[in-house]
Chains A and B, each alone.
Chain A
Amino acid sequence: MSILLNVNDLHTSFHTQDGEVKAVKGVSFHLDKGETLGIVGESGSGKSVTSLSILRLLPPAGQIMSGDINLNDINLVEANRSMLREVRGGKVAMIFQDPMSSLNPLIPVGKQVEEMISIHEKHSKNDLKRMVLDLFEKVQIPDAAKRYKSYPHEFSGGMRQRVMIAMALACKPSVLIADEPTTALDVTIQDQILKLLRSLQDEMQMSIIFISHNLGVVAEICSRVMVMYGGMVMEYASINDIFAYPRHPYTMGLLKSIPKIDQDRSVALQSIPGSPPDMTNPPGGCPFHPRCQYARKICSMEVPPVAAVSDEHGSRCWLLKEDAPENNNPFYKAGSTK
């Protein structure tokens, strides 16, 4: 597999009245052609900021402090405006969490999709309209010709997200960044959208970065997963390894908090105690240590390095160090996942 997108040691900060807030601290990952990478984490983990950094769509207070983002040969951190505009929507497209607020309420949806094509390609007016109708059919919007002139408020949440997907796919991007695309939708619609994304991915041979706080959703669509917490990648692995051999206490906590259909209903669903770190004043050392039941002294002092579990599986946890103690260590001599 060839690498399409490579992010290396990305640091993104927000300049607020309380000073610099480091939202992303040294995130590295790569995206291969045709694969789906999941980024999982709770609110404030830095997953959305990471994705917005890729297209430099951060709000005015946000700034990429250091690191590289390379799409093929294009350095996106240093790209000038016109280059960036070519990439946005053309090579890398994005869909967002709330499909209602993500569409302009005053412009018919057909026109909004049309605009996307006309920015990047030259076509006659009739061709543009035909292409939009084709896209609407592709994302299974019924009665496409009639819906072309409708406004966003005349659509349901699921249909709006289909419009967003049609817009994102209009210029056949090689990368689609989906930032919590199903979070605002109810479960049955969620499932339809996921299936749609998967079939369109096969058809169009594109790579997807799928951001979610829901490991269950990620399991349905992703081949690899990256778990983020406090602006750092805590663990990355193939989807099977994450579920079968989690090597980070945070990942274990997330897995335990997924409800299962056959579980004993008399036992309360487990959750991770505490709340996500305050990013204006983050804890020292490993960001997860205040909530970690295995935390030791070193955890609050130094950020753990990434320990390789196998080639494609790594975890930032002191418990994986070779000299880690045996006591209270779920990973002691657990060995490689392979």
Chain B
Amino acid sequence: MIKYIFKRMVMMILTLLIIAVLVFFLMHAIPGGPFTAQRELPAEVEKALMEKYNLDDSLPKQLINYIGGLLKGDLGPSFKYPGMRVNDFIREGFPVSARLGLITIIFVLAASIPMGIVAALKNGRWQDVLSMIIATIGVTIPSFVIATLLMYLFSHKLGWLPAFGFDKPTGYILPVIALGGYAMSFLARLMRSSLLEVMGQDYIRTARAKGLSEFKVVVRHALRNAMIPVVTVLGPTIAALLTGSFVIEKIFALPGMGKHFVTSITNRDYTTILGITIFYATFLIVMVFLVDMFYLIIDPRIKYEDGN
């Protein structure tokens, strides 16, 4: 088991290196550079800037330099914001995104799991129909539409909730709903179909034949089995929610790190592109690893062998 975890760690580091190399060459393949702007810089200035940031080196040399810094935990300077380092972006933005993400995850789990369970147990009745209407809306309508509608209704028309910022705790309500709407709907549907399938299994019939009440059949025998597919998608979902969303942070004017996902690319801010991507990838890989470890607790059929 310890050998397996060690092997996984090595694989994770390798995966990150491969991602770093791939992204490095991909972003250099995009035409333009960090100092390409509408108003062209004088040639000498551009040359000086290129020298300052070592952009005049060959690509392999730049890559080796970068990886060297990466291994020391240094993501390099931002090319677009003088004096800022990519580590600063993450240090400033991530706590904001993560706090919103964490609240969103709690909201998503607290809403989607009960919704899916009720829908499955009341299959075909109004509770099911209502839950699935909400879930279908959440999956099909994009988050920015939902965000705008919520803002229009609750901030502009009713004036109940702030339209931007986290100055007041109520400022979290709209972003949480808009950010978590898709994940909540998706998980509710998954929970419903998974539980429906489990409820038709032979061992549920066995549990009923034992004389268990329907409540205990669901709680003791059905739920744990039905949670397995939900746990599978939970890893990537949590990673995505914690690292912030460009759209939601833009709409609600939140100082998270989500905006860097998009602006760094349009700016050709090479180190920021790499840094943010690697940060997200690390998060995702760790979450997937944690989900795999969590399987060991919930499903005894899964064993990770120390293969030769």
Binding site for B on A (CB under 8 A): 55, 57, 59-60, 81, 84-90, 93-94, 96, 98, 101-108, 115-116, 119-120, 151, 153, 164, 167
Q: Which of B2-10, B171-179, B203-211, B283-291 contacts A (4 or more CB under 8 A)?
A: B203-211
Interface residues of B in 234-288 (CB under 8 A from A): none
Query: Which residues of the partner chain B approach A164 to less than 8 Å between Cβ atoms?
Result: 206
Give which listed residue, B209, B225, B299, contacts A57 with CB less than 8 A: B209
Which residues of the partner chain B approach A103 to less than 8 Å between Cβ atoms? 203, 206
Q: Please measure, in the bound complex, the distance between the C-alpha atom of A126 and the C-alpha atom of B203, giving whole angstroms.
A: 26
Cβ-defined contact, A102 with B208, below 8 A:
no
Report chain B residues within 8 Å CB of A59.
Answer: 200
Partner of B299, one of A106, A115, A120: A106
Closest Cβ neighbor of A151 among chain B residues: B300
Is B210 a contact partner of A116 (Cβ separation < 8 A)? yes
The residue on A at minimum CB distance from B214 is: A81
Name the residue on A nearest B207 (C-beta).
Answer: A104
What bracket does the count of chain B residues touching chain A fall in? 20 to 34
How distant is the Cα of A116 from the Cα of B201 in the complex, in angstroms? 18
Q: Does B61 contact A (CB under 8 A)?
A: no
Report if A85-B213 is in contact (Cβ < 8 Å); known contacts: A101-B202, A102-B202, A151-B300.
yes
Nearest residue in A to B205 (C-beta to C-beta)?
Answer: A57
- Could you name 13 residue pairs across A and B whose Cβ atoms are closer than 8 Å? A57-B209, A88-B211, A89-B209, A90-B211, A94-B209, A96-B205, A96-B206, A102-B203, A102-B206, A104-B206, A108-B300, A116-B210, A120-B211
> When A85-B213, A96-B202, A153-B301 are in contact, do A105 and B208 touch as well, CB less than 8 Å?
no
Nearest CB of chain A from residue B140's CB, rounded to whole Å: 27
**Complex contacts, B203 vs chain A, CB 8 Å:** 101-105
A96 proximity list for chain B (CB < 8 A)? 202, 205-206
Residue of B with least CB distance to A91:
B211
Q: Roughly how many angstroms separate A89 CA and B206 CA in the complex, as a whole number?
A: 10
Q: How far is the CA of A107 from the CA of B210 in the complex (A)?
A: 15
Are B208 and A88 closer than 8 Å at their CB atoms? yes
Interface core residue of B203, B210, B213 (most chain A CB under 10 Å): B210
Is there contact, CB below 8 Å, between A55 and B225? no
Bound-complex Cα distance A103 to B301 (A): 13
Give every chain A residue within 8 A of B300 (Cβ-Cβ). 105-106, 108, 151, 153
Taken together as a complex, chains A and B put the C-alpha atoms of A120 and B202 apart, in Å, by 21
Contact A119 B212 (CB under 8 A): yes
| Interchain CA distance A81-B209 in the complex, whole Å | 12
Residue of B nearest to A104 (CB): B203
A63 CB to nearest chain B CB (Å): 15
Interchain CA distance A151-B224 in the complex, whole Å: 15
User: Closest A-chain residue to B225, C-beta based?
Assistant: A106
| B298-A86 in contact (CB<8A) | no
Nearest A residue to B198, CB-CB: A104
Q: Are A102 and B221 in contact (CB under 8 A)?
A: no
